[in-house]
Amino acid sequence: MDSAWTPYTLAPVEVEFWQAAKSRVHTRLRYERTGTDGRWERYRLWS
């Protein structure tokens, strides 16, 4: 790694994904980190 670079780590708490559909009604999924055990909970926002 170049010495001018500064490495860092991301620690997301929430992530959202969109899944495309032919009907143009996309499925939205949101994942949230829960508690201190690092597990992710999934929520369906739209389908």
Distance CA 26, CA 41 (A): 20
Beta strands per DSSP E along 1-47: 14-19, 27-34, 39-46
pTM: 0.67
Greater confidence, 42 or 47? Answer: 42
Is residue 41 scored above 90 in pLDDT?
Answer: yes
Percent of the chain that is helix, strand, coil (3-state, to 5): 0, 45, 55
pLDDT in tens, 7-37: 999 999 999 999 888 887 888 999 999 988 8
